[in-house]
Amino acid sequence: MNSSFQAASCEVGGLFKAESVLAAALRLREEFVKPARVAFAFVSVNYLPHLEEFCEILRVDGHIIDIVGCTTSGRIEGGREIESGSGFSILALQCDLGEPLAISAEDLKNQGLLDNKPNAWLALANPFTFPIQEWLDTWNARYTNIPIVGGLASGASHEETCVFINGKIVDAAMLPVIGRTTIVPVLSQGCRPIGEPMTVTRAENNVIYALGGQSAYHVLENAFQTLTEEQKSNARGNLFAGLAGNEYVEDFQSGDFLIKNIIGADPDSGAVVIGGIPRIGQTLQYQIRDRGIAIEDLDRACEITSVIRHEAFATLLFSCLGRGRRFFGHPDQDAEKLFHAVGGKPSVGFFCNGEIAPVRGLNALHSNTVAAAVWVKKC
């Protein structure tokens, strides 16, 4: 295993140019005393035809053993969020890590088994080709209480979205965090519960018909009526369903739920359609998201990261496409706060089609959140 713990990041704008990638590779190489174990690279979709050359330059000239990355509609580096335009961002790490695993939809049940359980997993997946929920269920069973943090690749279309390892396109890439390296997961959902928590009493797939014996639509309507007039006027697109991550909680609070989109609602049938599969008997509480709540939630997350800033040496940030300037009204809200919370250590990330992070010990897929993996050297 590696004995040193180092990290370096960079961001380069513009279309693919071999000389620009070479300059970035040499800049990263100068930061390390020996080859970096891995680099996470997040690239705009117009880099797709050049992935092999892009990764080869980084590996050969940057002295980086493995390149793991994906396409994205927006990149993050340091305290900056670059929400559009061409380019790439890279975080290179020298620490204790296993080899990246390529997981496909076909061989999901046969991949990823390690003799020893890792300290954590980093995950990147293609939302169009990889059964993310099936994988999470499998991994949660295999690697109990081991955190997974990551994100789903984004792009302009299905065809322009991909995950890659060393220039080869894969369905999903998993990286085991081992030895003296670990990660501290950070999650900011930006939602607070409204109405009352209710038990799912009738549902089919992702369609909920009854909560606590009442129409799911009626419960949603009652929750909506608890809002202020200002909140009601801003509620369109900001109402969500929260599925309890752990039923053994006496008083549910923000952060206890897996936030799922409300896709549709029908007052005639009483049905509410959500972007997740609830279980009969699971607790559900409707949620509202707004900028003030999101900022408060992010502040709480930053308090956690500030505690470990002296042990942290890098951060990977996974932010929903629905956040950023369009939500907060100005850029860099998430990236800047988390970057300063860990003392300005190298930080890179991307805007995702979904975020992966644990809630009360259960690894789950989120939406409209920001998740972070803070890299820490174990004492």
DSSP H helices, 143-255, are 216-225, 229-233
Count of domains observed in the chain: 2
**pLDDT for position 1:** 39
What is the model's pLDDT at position 254? 66
Could you tell me the pTM of the whole model?
A: 0.89
Within this chain, do residues 42 and 134 fall inside the same structural domain, yes or no?
Answer: yes
* Domain co-membership, 173 together with 220: no
Residue 236 shares a structural domain with residue 166: no
Whether 248 is in a domain gets the answer: yes
- Considering the domain architecture, whether residues 178 and 202 belong to the same structural domain is answered as no
* Contact indicator for 247, 183 with CB cutoff of 8 Å: no
The answer to the question of residue 42 being in a domain is yes
Q: For the sheet containing 80-82, what is the strand order?
A: 80-82, 75-77, 347-352, 312-320, 370-377, 181-188
pLDDT of residue 125: 97
- The CATH number for 225's domain is 2.40.30
291 membership: H or E segment, kind and range:
helix 291-307
User: Looking at 289, 310, 343, which one is the last position of a domain?
Assistant: 289
* 354 phi, psi to nearest 5 deg: 165, 150
In terms of domains, do 164 and 52 share one? yes
Examine residue 243 and state whether it is found in any structural domain, yes or no.
yes
- Using 70 as the pLDDT threshold, list the residues of the chain that sit under it: 1-3, 107-115, 247-250, 253-255
| Three-state DSSP state, 82 | strand
CB crowding 124-142: b at 16 or more within 10 Å, else e: bbbbebbebeebbebbbee
The conformation of residue 45, written as its DSSP 8-state character, comes to: G
Token pair recorded at residue 175 = 């990286």
Which of 289, 315, 340 is a domain's end point?
Answer: 289
Which residue among 234, 265, 289 closes a domain? 289
State whether 280 and 201 are in the same domain.
Answer: yes
**Residue 1 domain-assigned?**
no
- Find where tokens 């209480």 sit: 145
Q: 308 and 274 in one domain?
A: no
pLDDT score of 292: 81
Q: Does any domain span residue 100?
A: yes
Give yes or no for a contact between 84 and 195, defined as CB atoms under 8 angstroms apart: no
* CA distances from residue 378 to 119, 179, 315, 339 in whole angstroms, order as listed: 10, 8, 15, 20
143 and 32 in a single domain? The answer is yes
Instruction: Provide the domain limits for residue 106.
Output: 6-188+295-377
Claim to verify: residue 16 and residue 67 sit in the same structural domain: yes
Are residues 207 and 354 both part of a single domain?
Answer: no
Residue 250, domain member (yes or no): yes
136 and 232, same domain (yes or no): no
Looking at the DSSP bridge assignments, the partners of residue 54 are: none
Does some domain include residue 63? Answer: yes
Q: Tell me if 201 is assigned to some domain.
A: yes
Question: Rounded CA gap, 97 and 119, in Å?
Answer: 10
Q: Is 36 exposed, middle or buried (0-12, 13-18, 19+ CB in 10 A)?
A: buried
pLDDT attached to residue 108: 65
Whether residue 358 is found in the same domain as residue 322: yes
Strand-strand pairing, 207-211 and 347-352:
unpaired
